[in-house]
Amino acid sequence: QQPVQSPQAVILREGEDAVINCSSSKALYSVHWYRQKHGEAPVFLMILLKGGEQKGHEKISASFNEKKQQSSLYLTASQLSYSGTYFCGTEIQNSGYALNFGKGTSLLVTP
């Protein structure tokens, strides 16, 4: 039930864009995105509910393709502060409340 994230790691220069993908083999009720910096707790970024809703948070936005059970996180004009590990969490339909996280995508933004 663990979603699959890709890529596993990405290195960007400041100002470049990145896309992180998250896919599930099960029908999803919602997708969460979190960022964890080294030595810190994961921090919530956004939730997407089934219905294809797209949400934004500063220069970070995400989409949810309900038909494909996929979500993508878009980081635009990356900043040094975007560095960290990004996790998607998925809640499967009719499974009761359990947020299952992917293995994470390590993002490093360099000057």
Partner 1 sequence: KAGVTQTPRYLIKTRGQQVTLSCSPISGHRSVSWYQQTPGQGLQFLFEYFSETQRNKGNFPGRFSGRQFSNSRSEMNVSTLELGDSALYLCASSEDGRNSPLHFGNGTRLTVT
Stretch that binds partner 1, among 16-24, 58-66, 73-81, 84-92 (CB under 8 A): 84-92
The kind and range of the H/E element at 12 are: strand 9-13
Count of residues in the chain: 111
Which of 31, 75, 104, 109 is the binder for partner 1 (CB under 8 A)?
104
Which of 49, 55, 63, 66 is the binder for partner 1 (CB under 8 A)?
49
Stretch that binds partner 1, among 15-23, 58-66, 72-80, 89-97 (CB under 8 A): 89-97
Tell me how crowded residue 58 is: count the other CB atoms within 10 A of its CB: 11
CA angle 64, 59, 17 (to 5 degrees): 85
